[in-house]
Amino acid sequence: NAGVTQTPKFQVLKTGQSMTLQCAQDMNHEYMSWYRQDPGMGLRLIHYSVGAGITDQGEVPNGYNVSRSTTEDFPLRLLSAAPSQTSVYFCASKTGTGVSVGEKLFFGSGTQLSVL
């Protein structure tokens, strides 16, 4: 099992450019999610999905799009990058949408994104 694979690890964009952060999990998890981590603010939920074809907004969704065409993949798209989107991004997944005994949240290794 690779767990949660997140790419790329580092990315530099110019304002207005677009890009996609990739996230894949091989644990057959229903729940997948994207977060940004900024100094002094902690992790904040951007978007999440509870299964293929189902996505919903989190706390800070503006400027980001997601889709979930398969159980395994949950890409995050920045359509027109802005300096305010400079952050560290994490993808995470867990077993289901309820509360399961022994449930854990599995994180990708993170993406450091800089928008100039």
Residues that bind another protein (CB under 8 A): 31, 33, 35, 40-45, 48, 50, 56, 58-59, 88, 90, 92, 97-99, 102-107, 109-110
Query: 17 or 45, CB closer to another protein?
Result: 45
d(CA 26, CA 86): 28
What is the 3-state secondary structure of 6-66? EECCEEEECCCCCEEEEEEECCCCCEEEEEEEECCCEEEEEEEEEECCEEEECCCCCCEEE
CB of 23 to another protein, least distance (A): 14
CB of 108 to another protein, least distance (A): 9
CB of 33 to another protein, least distance (A): 7
